[in-house]
Structure 1
Amino acid sequence: MGKIFGTFGVRGIANKKITPEFALKIGMAFGTLLKREQPDKELWVVIGRDTRVSGEMLKNALISGLLSVGINVIDAGVAPTPAIQFACKYFGTDGGAVITASHNPPEYNGIKLLESNGLGLKKERETIVEELFFKEEFYKAKWDEIGQLVERDIIRPYIDTIKAKVDVEAIRKRKPFVVVDTSNGAGSLVLPYLLRELGCKVVSVNAQPDGHFPARNPEPNEENLQGFMKIVKSLKADFGVAQDGDADRSVFIDENGNFIQGDKTFALVVKAMLEENKGGLVVTTIATSHIIDELAKMHGGKVLKTKVGDLIVSRALLEHNGLVGGEENGGVIFPDHVLGRDGAMTVAKIVEIFAKRGKKFSELIKELPKFYQVKTKKHIEGDRKAIVAEVAEIAEKEELKIDTTDGTKILFEDGWVLIRASGTEPIIRIFAEAKSDKRAKEYLNIGLKLLDEVLKA
């Protein structure tokens, strides 16, 4: 049986891999799964998309597939991925789907399928969708049982729900000056408006929805944000926020134009929420900074570490009744709001923290426990997971303390190094962290040396 889905949904080049025929069959397969599970129920699925050029074409094909099976569809139009996850709960649907390729270049697109609670589809249900897709065993509704299609707005209720979760009065008192770059993506319809309604002074750039992503690559990393970093500093803003194409992640620039690593903004949220709730469970991945562990110790919290992947973190939050979750790339998950990374909710919470603390953004970052990180990657063909497993074997022989939750993580007294195969690219990533820059580089070199030993063998 063939495989379609990766860690969360499927992605590829639009009209090559992700064609209208492909989307139609996914819709029919997903609809058939829902019909089999609840044959007598009137079933509804909510669908949304990001701003990509191919999005409308693929959305209409996916909708046609669902309607043909007898599934009713709510078309929420262009909206951030977390807004569609929110819509599943808000409209009380039986599932959802998002047409997006997140931070990938404009020629890509993809499909994510959602449970009724907005969480990504369970693996066992994904497997059934794949079987139905390849066998083409689709349910066909009678002519008078074909699903109905309705259009509904989710942006307004999504913004209102976020506003209700933060201290708007505190924000309005401080009136933060925020510059936003929504990468011509789905966040363009939410973030500038949300911030203005919260009482911020807002300057927005690249906020015209455009699926060509003319201004920059939609991945909000330091390399792609050089121009934006200069804008934030030159405008003398309190801070800047940049999002990816589907607005599930937000990254921050301080008032001096410095790029802030994702796990530091995650740490700001963790610190505030542990203080507000007098402890709680934080769920994060094996690759996230140990700043989180230190903050949990300081504020009576606990930390659960998972494999890398926002879907894995979201599931663990649900299973263990977690307070907040996140990853090192800046994705923060607020499980009482949306069971997935939410860029807009992250910004609202950070703005609230900024307003209440009364300090500069750079000062808030300086107050966090001090850790230094270095990262590199190696392009490697072949069985990368087997290579990483061999690194673990050598490390064990050398009597190093290891954690193999996801890849090989070697733990030292004051830091760690993680050697991990990418799930989406032919590379092995090496992350190291320590209490000093010198130590972090030493640990990175230990990881590289062990990896080279395996590659030379």
Structure 2
Amino acid sequence: MMKHIFREYDIRGIFGTEISPSFTKALGFVIGKIMLSKNAKSVSVGYDARLSNKVLNNALIYGLNRAGIKVYSLGLVPTPLGYFSNYAYEIDANIMITASHNPKEYNGFKITINKESFFAKELSDIYTEVANHIKDFDDKIENAEYEELDIKTKYIEFLQKEFAHLKNANINLAIDTASGAACEVVANILDILNIKYAHYFSEFDGEFKSHEPDPTEEENLFAIKNELNFSNFSHHCPTPLYKNNYVKNTATLGFGFDGDADRIVCVLKDKIIKGDELCYLFANNIKNPKILCEVKCSKVIFDKINELGTCSMCKTGHSNIKKAIKELNVDLAAELSGHVFFNDKYYGYDDAIYSMLRIIELYLKNPNFIDILNNLPKAYSSNEIKIKVNESNKFNIINTYKEKIKSLNLNAKLIEIDGVRLEFENGFSLLRASNTSPYLVARFESISEDKLKEINDFTFKLLDEIIKN
């Protein structure tokens, strides 16, 4: 068993070699015992559309049975519905079997106990115990005991009530659910609200043959861009489902979902809106907003939200952010990558389906909301740059880079919340290790293209020296 699959905020690895049914049974047993020690006596279990999930669902529930905890089976549902089950019913914990936006060969587990994410040191500390218990289990399908729970109906009823004012809204949408867990629920709520939309990749497909379930990679947004006539974009696409009298190519707003529907990307005819920009749009509609953004977010966004209210910085990752939301009692939080967390009128976790409806609400209030972003101070920024490295030494590279930066005595503010963020007078650079994949992640921003290139070149020159050595 490989320790690196126990990541900062969830467990994630390749099915078959790193995550097996015997491992999953052992995990269920160990986590079940921990839940009971925290006085959590019941757990809901759900999974996304990956092909390995029914086997792992059986194994996980069997392990939880062995620990003596009551299990409610949610079936194939988006991750936010797993979280929702802990608020809608008196269920103490939740485990979602998902690898989120990762390719099809991956799988993993997101764990919540007593409405708190189970992550970081708590998660890494169970590695040895899980490893010790694997010998007690095999890979066979078991007679697992559980009670089925229809969380989808309860969740859709909640959304229908909260967003009743959107019924028959005069808006045309392009939706890409990436053949992932969002497929049915997104269609259900839009149909109930009678909103017109074109639905791409609307059926579950654990092979993700259409494209990888990661909307932050622009190449995966080709269907939405095509439907929106995005900057004269033209790409061959399959015919989507046209729903509720939608007319082809009339969409003005598009939404891309990741594999388990906790991450959303919003697309307009000539712009892809990043998570921090969404945060700024919503901050403009909250009186004296208290906002939380993670380290990859724009310095311009931090500065401008601080003019409206307060904007704090935190580590990347849904578990880190959910913890910080509770500690700081903020209204809203966001990751650049499209995790949006509403603590204003909602429960403070990342839910792409709920976020979609809040964005629609915002758009209907002001269809020209893009002007708010266009009026921000001009800044040039890179997208997230992923640098492939060895899983086992990615954190060592970051530590070496940090020490080198400190030795240079640069005229910049060093922020060590998560990796190395350097804030210059005219921009910032960030280099951090991904907690979910074998990558380093870099991002740069500056007030001019020349300065942006300067920051970029400086960072990569230093990084190349470290990797060579």
TMscore range, shorter length: 0.7 to 0.9
Asked if the contact 2:276–2:293 (Cα under 8 Å) also holds between the matched residues in 1, the reply is: no
Matched position secondary structure for 1:190: helix
Tell whether 2:159 aligns with 1:162: yes
In the other structure, the counterpart of 1:26 is 27
Matched position secondary structure for 1:263: helix
What is the distance in 2 between the residues matched to 1:153 and 1:286?
37
In the other structure, the counterpart of 1:348 is 357
Q: Which letter does structure 1 place at the counterpart of 2:153?
A: R
In the other structure, the counterpart of 1:223 is 219
Q: How does 1:359-374 map to 2 (within 5 A)?
A: 359=368, 362-363=370-371, 365-374=373-382
Tell whether 2:111 aligns with 1:80: no
Q: How does 1:97-176 map to 2 (within 5 A)?
A: 97-117=95-115, 119-123=116-120, 125-127=122-124, 129-136=126-133, 149-166=146-163, 168-169=164-165, 171-172=166-167, 174-176=169-171
Asked if the contact 2:97–2:109 (Cα under 8 Å) also holds between the matched residues in 1, the reply is: yes
Q: Deviation digits for residues 266-289 of structure 1, max 9, x if unmatched? A: 3323332x3xxx113211111111
What is the distance in 1 between the residues matched to 2:432 and 2:335?
15
Tell whether 2:317 aligns with 1:327: no
Q: Which letter does structure 1 place at the counterpart of 2:51?
A: V
Moved more, 147-156 or 175-184: 147-156
Identity %: 29
Tell whether 2:301 aligns with 1:292: yes
Asked if the contact 2:9–2:435 (Cα under 8 Å) also holds between the matched residues in 1, the reply is: no
What is the distance in 1 between the residues matched to 2:113 and 2:157?
23
In the other structure, the counterpart of 2:282 is 269
Asked if the contact 1:69–1:147 (Cα under 8 Å) also holds between the matched residues in 2, the reply is: no
What is the distance in 2 between the residues matched to 1:448 and 1:130?
34
Tell whether 2:419 aligns with 1:421: no
Asked if the contact 2:58–2:144 (Cα under 8 Å) also holds between the matched residues in 1, the reply is: no
In the other structure, the counterpart of 2:239 is none
Q: What is the CA-CA distance between 1:305 and the residue it aligns to?
A: 0.7
Q: Which letter does structure 1 place at the counterpart of 2:131?
A: F
What is the distance in 2 between the residues matched to 1:230 and 1:58?
37
Matched position secondary structure for 2:99: coil
In the other structure, the counterpart of 2:45 is 47
Q: Deviation digits for residues 60-117 of structure 1, max 9, x if unmatched? A: 1111111122211110111111110111222221211101010111121111221121
Q: Deviation digits for residues 221-244 of structure 1, max 9, x if unmatched? A: 202222431123271311111101
Asked if the contact 1:407–1:421 (Cα under 8 Å) also holds between the matched residues in 2, the reply is: yes
In the other structure, the counterpart of 2:65 is 67
In the other structure, the counterpart of 1:249 is 263
Selected match of 1:404 from 413, 416, 419: 416
What is the distance in 2 between the residues matched to 1:323 and 1:252?
20
Q: How does 1:207-218 map to 2 (within 5 A)?
A: 207-218=202-213
The structure-2 alpha-carbon separation of the partners of 1:436 and 1:352, relative to structure 1 and needing over 3 Å to count, comes to: farther
The structure-2 alpha-carbon separation of the partners of 1:241 and 1:74, relative to structure 1 and needing over 3 Å to count, comes to: same
Asked if the contact 1:92–1:116 (Cα under 8 Å) also holds between the matched residues in 2, the reply is: no
Q: Which letter does structure 2 place at the counterpart of 1:296?
A: I
Q: What is the CA-CA distance between 1:58 and the residue it aligns to?
A: 0.5
Moved more, 82-91 or 386-395: 386-395
What is the distance in 2 between the residues matched to 1:455 and 1:216?
31
In the other structure, the counterpart of 1:281 is 290
Matched position secondary structure for 1:186: coil
Asked if the contact 1:89–1:116 (Cα under 8 Å) also holds between the matched residues in 2, the reply is: no
The structure-2 alpha-carbon separation of the partners of 1:450 and 1:133, relative to structure 1 and needing over 3 Å to count, comes to: closer
Matched position secondary structure for 2:227: helix
Q: What is the CA-CA distance between 1:321 and the residue it aligns to?
A: 0.9
Asked if the contact 2:61–2:145 (Cα under 8 Å) also holds between the matched residues in 1, the reply is: no
The structure-2 alpha-carbon separation of the partners of 1:452 and 1:57, relative to structure 1 and needing over 3 Å to count, comes to: closer
What is the distance in 1 between the residues matched to 2:175 and 2:195?
11
In the other structure, the counterpart of 1:8 is 9
Matched position secondary structure for 2:382: strand
Moved more, 339-348 or 75-84: 339-348
Matched position secondary structure for 2:13: strand
In the other structure, the counterpart of 1:302 is 310
Asked if the contact 2:79–2:262 (Cα under 8 Å) also holds between the matched residues in 1, the reply is: yes
Matched position secondary structure for 2:265: strand
Tell whether 2:310 aligns with 1:314: no
Q: How does 1:89-104 map to 2 (within 5 A)?
A: 89-104=87-102
Q: What is the CA-CA distance between 1:186 and the residue it aligns to?
A: 0.6
Unaligned runs of 5+ in 1: 141-145
Q: What is the CA-CA distance between 1:137 and the residue it aligns to?
A: 10
Asked if the contact 1:391–1:454 (Cα under 8 Å) also holds between the matched residues in 2, the reply is: no
What's the TM-score, normalizing by structure 2?
0.85
Q: What is the CA-CA distance between 1:316 and the residue it aligns to?
A: 0.5
Asked if the contact 2:25–2:63 (Cα under 8 Å) also holds between the matched residues in 1, the reply is: yes
In the other structure, the counterpart of 1:447 is 459
Q: Which letter does structure 2 place at the counterpart of 1:348?
A: L
Aligned length: 438
Asked if the contact 1:266–1:331 (Cα under 8 Å) also holds between the matched residues in 2, the reply is: no
What is the distance in 1 between the residues matched to 2:135 and 2:105?
29
Q: Which letter does structure 1 place at the counterpart of 2:132?
A: K
What's the TM-score, normalizing by structure 1?
0.87
Q: What is the CA-CA distance between 1:172 and the residue it aligns to?
A: 4.1
